[in-house]
Amino acid sequence: MLRLRAFRPTNEKIVKIALHPTHPWLVTADASDHVSVWNWEHRQVIYELKAGGVDQRRLVGAKLEKLAEGESVPKGKPTEAIRGGSVKQVSFFDDDVRFWQLWRNRSAAAEAPSAVNQLTSAFASPAPSTKGRHFLVICCENKAIFLDLVTMRGRDVPKQDLDNKSLLCMEFLSRSSAGDSPLVAFGGSDGVIRVLSMMTWKLVRRYTGGHKGSISCLMTFMASSGEALLVSGASDGLLILWSADHGQDSRELVPKLSLKAHDGGVVAVELSRVIGGAPQLITIGADKTLAIWDTISFKELRRIKPVPKLACHSIASWCHPRAPNLDILTCVKDSYIWAIEHPTYSALTRPLCDLSSLVPPQIVAPNKKLRVYCMVAHPLQPHLVATGTNIGVIVSEFDARSLPPVVPIPTPAESREHSAVYIVERELKLLNFQLSNAANPSLGNNGSLSETGKLLGDSLQPLHVKQIKKHISTPVPHDSYSALSVSSSGKYLAIVWPDIPYFSIYKVSDWSIVDSGSARLLAWDTCCDRFAILESALPPRMPVLPKGSSSRKAKEAAAAAAQAAAAAATAASANVQVRILLDDGTSNILMRSIGSRSEPVVGLHGGALLGVAYRTSRRVSPGAATAISTIQSMPLSGFGSSSSFATYDDGFSSQRSPSEAVPQNFQLFSWETFQPVGGLLPQPEWTAWDQTVEYCALAYQHYIVICSLRPQFRYLGDVAIAYATGGVWQRRQLFVATPTTIEGVFVDAGVAPVDIETRKKKEEMKLKEAQSRALAEHGELALITVEGPQTVAEERLTLRPPMLQVVRLASFQHAPSVPPFLSLPKQSKVDGDDSTMLKEMEERKVNEIAVGGGGVTVAVTRFPTEQKRPVGPLIVVGVRDGVLWLIDRYMTVHALSLSHPGIRCRCLAAYGDAVSAVKWASRLAREHHDDLAQFMLGMGYATEALHLPGISKRLEFDLAMKSNDLKRALQCLLTMSNSRDIGQDNPGLDLNDILNLTAKKENLVEAVQGIVKFAREFLDLIDAADATAQADIAREALKRLATAGSVKGALQGHELKGLALRLANHGELTRLSGLVNNLISLGLGREAAFSAAVLGDNALMEKAWQDTGMLSEAVLHAHAHGRPTLKNLVEAWNRELQKEVEHTPSAKTDATAAFLASLEEPKLSSLSDAGKKPPIEILPPGMSALSASITIKKKPAPATDTSQQQPSKPLALEAPPASGPAEAPIGTAPSSASAAAPGTPIGASPPDAPVATQGTPIGAAPPGAPAAAAIGAAPPASETSAACDATVTPMLEDMLWSVRLSSLCAKVDWNYVE
């Protein structure tokens, strides 16, 4: 897959370019000598400066810095004011650059068979020299600029400090002792190399007597003998070698070797790593040739002209698994990146890609042609290539998902040597590897502290690997890109050449071919030696666009050809065929075609289920068609019919916008029935199934989805690991490789409801099988059971959410991205408030290094400094001998240590050995035990996690509850709440004790506060103790909680109700009645009445309502239960209402309404009658009035005045009993209803009378009891009796009243649901 990773348009042509190895930084210099640092991942410019002239910002900034530091302004011209001149080279320098430069040189030298034994690719990191700073170094003609990108301070070294000679190139000398300062060598115009110290900024060494012309390029490398060498090329055409091993020696050095390399001058030099051989030097010259040199004999191996009539101006060593035979990249001033085959072959040059097809068409002007002026390959990620052109910077990505052609073979039991099979140059080879050091970090030999007391797992020394490569006599038929895979049993090896297309299956025991044929995709079943293949013919190739034919007509023709090819490919849709390998080695076809879909198959994924991906029909744009034709027309493997970097999903899916819906084109099939399983899913890039068929990982571009397969398929979560290239399961551990890191994901499915149901069904099935077995053995006598005392120990099965935790094991960073020590907040007392807890959680989040997302927990345990990830694409072999094995593109085996206690504990817990995990975890400092205990709790090992000595009390309580150790949970709760000494029967704590506290009882206040803070935990503990019949523990917790319940405002309402229920459940009637009395005295009427209802004492409930002023509820309760105190309660209630009415201001009415109302009212006989207002009476139905009512006859009022109330009539909730037929339906007003009709709602206010009860709540109603809410408010229309006629029968009234009362009484203790 070829795609555009990043593009930055510029007005000037880019002539110099360099990439940072670990950060996504790219530095460029254009033809106008402007230098810019660009973050190609986030598309942001970090820094810009004018290097050729005088950058005014830097000049002013330098003057301000000197003034701020108190330095006097120098009389001379500052170095920032010196014009830089032409920019000759740009580069980064920091600890990462220094480390990977040394690593590249050392690993290339270690490939040679004659390399010394001590020279291996695994070596200790050099001492940090730049102390975390990142330098941008610009070599200009007149000066060198050293700019610190962290502090933005710079240092300019003029050429006057370097013998006043122009600077033309530079190189950092990597071979220096630990105490040495960094050294940088500059090539001068006089043929002399001058070395500058970056600590003293003085000249420390000269290399003289070699060149007669100006030096154009410098490079360091390491010989197979281990000697560090410096090679230089100059305009005189000479290639000269110098020794770079002399440290701070200041004498002038003479050349070791001089070679005539090119006529007209050497342009560039590059080091090439060769598999199984000594490194080689590649040079390009002004004579348009490319030469390859051996670094042992320094003889010329090959000389070619890559592009006729054009001179190369950039060279890069390349090693990509998708193009196994292409070793060198170069560029000339055209729009292509050119690739050169391996020198041992024909050394043919072919175009790798046409950059003009990658950039948007509107970027390039109609009359302008794209030209490449410089190129660099990423030193650690070979799939990234950056080019500088006349339209901007282009970062291209070449198939980041392709992996090296190597596959591990299952290791026999009790064998310390492991094997892998790989292909190189049409040869099948066997790679045997094992740990070579004596201290093997396996499970049995890992508890070791070194003499200094430091854990061996903390050391940065990598593990030494002993590996042997053996030749297998069976040759392979092709040398193009291949994919290797092994069957589940390890007996068979499959090789697929998708570019041919062809496949072969070998028997591992004797390497004989058991099956072969035409196929481009192959997938194995993880349960038996069964595989599926995709047989199809390649679509017709499209013609190459001739040079200079980037016109509109040519692009339209290419688009038409692309659409025709797509149609042809659809017509020749492939068949997925399933075959099985029998024990005798024969292959048999099980199914000739799977699935009934008509779309072409573009992917096969093996596993417990067979995954088939189909191509989605999508319209091809002309630009994409041009790119497709360009890609498919460039064979990289030496075969005319092969397509270069053309994957079967059109290569452009990664450029899809996020808003576009992901196509559902992936179907799972059963290997047994060949029928679809489930619905369509988005197509993953790869899948991984564990050996026990319990977990599955589906990898997508930006995340990995983790699923559980048993007892049914269930989504567990996703981890935000982007661009993952492969992964391997190891029990509940998934080890994932990305282009920059190695991650470990620890997975547990938790306990879901379906798991509990499945477990119950299995137990029932076992019981039925046992009964049937006993019935078969003993007949019907087996069904006879004897009843007796049986003790049933019920196990509490609690649900547990799934857990995913990500740990970063290795990365390219030299400085650790996860700090080795994390200062987690320590809690001295447990009685802190919630705000401090939240603050500590925030501080902890700040300390965490987030490497996961999507709800994924991130491990914050102290880990060692991240290990170094090997360079390039990797095959993850898995965990063997306690280490994680990896194989890189050069078929070199690497081992990542898993011996650090923080990692080893997790690995053991995931493996199922929780006891050993606790032993390993106890070696860490105690502040990290909480994190490990949380991890073990998530993995289902709560009981074992309790043995960690450093866990906090809060976590210890949770673990004890999960593991049913309720006695320990009670002790933790008493410690956290400081309530160990209260709640006993003798030193009681009632209201008077709380109100009259002395200095001696201050601890009681703390205890009550502690109980209140952990009230929810106390209730949970009581419930857990009740469920497991541990009454003593429940009683102890109940005592403390009842003590806190007697304090006003201490517990919430729902907590008080829960306390009352639990007191009644335990028969603590004395404590319950005392709780009711305390709640009454505290004014908590609802809670007191609820507790009295639980106690079953109606008198106490009535007392609770009455004494707390909630008279409406007391009246309803007395009427419902026929209490003799009903009349007294009604009188008290009406008195309260009368008081509220008297304080209510009268309603204002206008004069017209008052006059009209006076015409309808009877005339007053005396003035004394005007001041008399009848008392308010609200009576239950059937109860006689408390005072005699005055009935006044009057003429009927108009229907419009029915809302006016006679002041001489007492207010009533319901109409009193009337003698008359009940003909009118309830809720309808008769047409001739008088204004004084009984049953007028309380809310209706006459204009001349004060509003009696409008909106006045008569005691707050308990929640959930709508019938008692705001007695004075107008009742709903559904149950109102406002317009009821006086003819309503007493039976209907009593029914309506009792419905309201029952709805109130039925919702008193129904609110609390446990």
Give the other-Cβ count within 10 Å of 320's Cβ: 26
Closest CA to 19 of 677, 752, 812, 608: 812
Q: How far apart are CA 926 and CA 1085, in angstroms?
A: 49
Token reading at 757: 């149901």
Give the other-Cβ count within 10 Å of 606's Cβ: 21
Q: What contacts 24+ positions apart, CB below 8 Å, involve 1282-1285?
A: 1282/1239, 1282/1240, 1282/1241, 1282/1244, 1283/1227, 1283/1228, 1283/1229, 1283/1233, 1283/1239, 1284/1214, 1284/1215, 1284/1224, 1284/1226, 1284/1227, 1284/1239, 1285/1215, 1285/1224, 1285/1229, 1285/1230, 1285/1233, 1285/1237, 1285/1239
Q: How far apart are CA 5 and CA 654, in angstroms?
A: 10
Per-residue confidence (pLDDT) for residue 431, from 0 to 100? 92
Asked if the model's pLDDT at residue 1006 lies above 90, the reply is no
Find the mean pLDDT for residues 634-661: 39
Closest CA to 1241 of 1224, 1231, 1255: 1255
Which range has the worst mean pLDDT, 9-18, 182-191, 932-941? 932-941
Whether the CB-CB separation of 875 and 404 falls below 8 Å is answered with yes
Whether the CB-CB separation of 308 and 344 falls below 8 Å is answered with no
Q: Which residues fall within 8 angstroms of residue 1294, CB to CB, at 6 or more apart?
A: 1181, 1182
Q: What is the pTM of this model?
A: 0.74
Closest CA to 585 of 662, 660, 510, 665: 510
CA distances 379 to 75, 107, 812, 872, 891, Å, are 45, 13, 11, 9, 18
Whether the CB-CB separation of 731 and 911 falls below 8 Å is answered with yes
Burial class (CB in 10 A: 0-12, 13-18, 19+), 900: buried
Per-residue confidence (pLDDT) for residue 707, from 0 to 100? 92
Q: How far apart are CA 766 and CA 999, in angstroms?
A: 64
Per-residue confidence (pLDDT) for residue 1162, from 0 to 100? 53
> pLDDT confidence of 186, banded at 50, 70, 90?
very high
Whether the CB-CB separation of 147 and 66 falls below 8 Å is answered with no
Asked if the model's pLDDT at residue 117 lies above 50, the reply is yes
Asked if the model's pLDDT at residue 218 lies above 90, the reply is yes
Q: How far apart are CA 912 and CA 764, in angstroms?
A: 27
Say whether 446 sits in a helix, a strand or coil.
coil
More confident residue, 956 or 1217: 956
Whether the CB-CB separation of 589 and 575 falls below 8 Å is answered with no
Q: How far apart are CA 391 and CA 8, in angstroms?
A: 9
Give residue 1297's Cα distance to chain centre. Answer: 60
Find the mean pLDDT for residues 45-66: 81
CA dihedral 786, 787, 789, 795 (to 10 degrees): 90
Find the mean pLDDT for residues 1283-1299: 44
Whether the CB-CB separation of 1128 and 1137 falls below 8 Å is answered with no
CA distances 342 to 281, 302, 418, 637, Å, are 13, 11, 30, 11
Token reading at 507: 């028997």
Q: How far apart are CA 1201 and CA 1235, in angstroms?
A: 7
Whether the CB-CB separation of 1264 and 1311 falls below 8 Å is answered with yes
Find the mean pLDDT for residues 177-205: 85
β-partners of residue 803 are 748
For 253, which DSSP code?
B
Q: How far apart are CA 545 and CA 524, in angstroms?
A: 40
Per-residue confidence (pLDDT) for residue 711, from 0 to 100? 82
Share of the chain residues as helix, strand and coil, in percent rounded to the nearest 5: 25, 25, 50
Per-residue confidence (pLDDT) for residue 685, from 0 to 100? 93
Strand residue runs (E) in 815-923: 857-858, 867-868, 875-880, 883-887, 893-897
Q: How far apart are CA 165 and CA 188, in angstroms?
A: 6
Find the mean pLDDT for residues 285-310: 89
Q: How far apart are CA 13 and CA 393, in angstroms?
A: 9
Which range has the worst mean pLDDT, 277-281, 506-510, 542-546? 542-546
Highest mean pLDDT among 5-19, 535-549, 613-627, 1131-1145: 5-19
Whether the CB-CB separation of 1194 and 1234 falls below 8 Å is answered with yes
More confident residue, 1254 or 1075: 1075
CA distances 838 to 825, 841, 845, Å, are 11, 5, 10
| pLDDT tens by residue, 959-987 | 898 888 899 999 998 888 888 877 554 44
Find the mean pLDDT for residues 351-380: 88
Asked if the model's pLDDT at residue 1174 lies above 90, the reply is no
Q: How far apart are CA 464 and CA 449, in angstroms?
A: 19
Token reading at 488: 């589940």
Find the mean pLDDT for residues 1240-1259: 39
> pLDDT confidence of 737, banded at 50, 70, 90?
very high
Round the average pLDDT of the chain to a whole number and report it: 74
Strand residue runs (E) in 594-725: 601-605, 610-614, 664-669, 676-682, 686-689, 695-699, 704-708, 714-719
Per-residue confidence (pLDDT) for residue 386, from 0 to 100? 95
Give residue 1193's Cα distance to chain centre. Answer: 83
Whether the CB-CB separation of 30 and 10 falls below 8 Å is answered with yes
Whether the CB-CB separation of 1062 and 1019 falls below 8 Å is answered with yes
Q: How far apart are CA 1287 and CA 1224, in angstroms?
A: 8
Q: How far apart are CA 274 and CA 279, in angstroms?
A: 6
Token reading at 811: 């990365």
CA distances 1037 to 830, 1178, 1238, Å, are 18, 46, 57
Asked if the model's pLDDT at residue 190 lies above 60, the reply is yes
Amino acid at 99: F
Token reading at 965: 């150790």
Q: How far apart are CA 180 and CA 1254, in angstroms?
A: 92
- Establish whether the linkage from the previous residue to 501 is cis, with ω within 30° of 0: yes
CA dihedral 953, 958, 962, 966 (to 10 degrees): 60
CA-based R_g, the chain, Å: 44
Closest CA to 421 of 875, 884, 879, 881: 875
Q: How far apart are CA 1193 and CA 361, in angstroms?
A: 99
Strand residue runs (E) in 442-529: 465-475, 483-486, 492-497, 502-507, 512-517, 521-524
Whether the CB-CB separation of 147 and 135 falls below 8 Å is answered with yes
Highest mean pLDDT among 86-90, 579-583, 598-602, 961-965: 86-90
Asked if the model's pLDDT at residue 538 lies above 80, the reply is no
Token reading at 13: 């042509």
Asked if the model's pLDDT at residue 588 lies above 60, the reply is yes
| pLDDT tens by residue, 431-455 | 999 988 644 444 333 333 333 333 4
Strand residue runs (E) in 955-1082: none
